[in-house]
């Protein structure tokens, strides 16, 4: 079984990691865990005027690794193996796309991200995933 664990560094994301760690112990064979951070894209017209594509790619990679670090630490401490992924795009769509591409049987994520303002501006990522996912979605509160 493959599980996509979408993280964003929020407290509810931390709880989603804890839930996946708990679930991993309930299976006969340890599931393959894919942890994913989706970075919102920088507007390309702005970015290409001021930085190179290589610099922008390095920025996405570095920021993504920072966001994955807490989840990686939790999984490492629990002895759960995983594969990290950083993607750029709109989170709800990207989470569903990556889950399908990797052949995941479950998506796990937090119910909301870091703040109410971001949620109001972007809409609910969790709801977008629930609406578009083709596999079960585990939402942690």
H or E segment to which residue 133 belongs: none
Q: What is the pLDDT of residue 112?
A: 72
Q: What is the pLDDT of residue 43?
A: 77
Residues in the chain predicted with pLDDT less than 50, given as ranges, are: 117-123
pLDDT tens-digit map of 82-121: 999 999 999 999 999 999 999 999 999 998 765 554 444 4
Q: Side-chain half-sphere of 6: how many Cα atoms within 13 Å?
A: 32
Q: What is the pLDDT of residue 123?
A: 45
Q: How many CB atoms lie within 10 A of CB 48?
A: 12
Total domains present in the chain: 1
- CATH number of the CATH domain containing 9: 3.40.50.620
Residue with token string 């702005």: 46
Helix 125-132 crosses helix 91-102 at what angle (to 10 degrees)?
Answer: 40
Q: Tell me the helices (H) and strands (E) count for the chain, helix number first.
A: 6, 5
Q: What is the pLDDT of residue 46?
A: 64
Hey, what long-range contacts does 74-77 have (CB within 8 A, 24 or more apart)? Answer: 74/14, 74/17, 74/18, 74/21, 75/17, 75/21, 75/33, 75/35
Identify the domain containing residue 105 by its residue range: 2-140
For the four alpha carbons of 92, 98, 101 and 106, in that order, the dihedral sign comes to negative
């Amino acid at each position: 079984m493959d599980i996509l664990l979408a993280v964003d560094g929020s407290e509810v994301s931390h709880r989603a990691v804890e839930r996946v760690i708990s679930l991993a112990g309930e299976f006969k064979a340890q599931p393959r865990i894919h942890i994913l951070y989706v970075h919102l894209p920088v507007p390309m017209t702005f970015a290409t005027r001021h930085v190179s594509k290589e610099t922008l790619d390095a920025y996405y990679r570095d920021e993504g690794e920072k966001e994955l670090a807490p989840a990686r630490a939790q999984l490492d401490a629990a002895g759960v193996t995983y594969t990290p992924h950083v993607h750029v795009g709109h989170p709800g769509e990207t989470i569903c796309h990556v889950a399908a591409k990797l052949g995941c049987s479950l998506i796990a994520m937090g119910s909301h991200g870091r703040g109410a303002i971001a949620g109001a501006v972007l809409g609910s990522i969790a709801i977008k995933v629930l609406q578009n996912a083709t596999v079960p979605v585990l939402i942690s509160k």
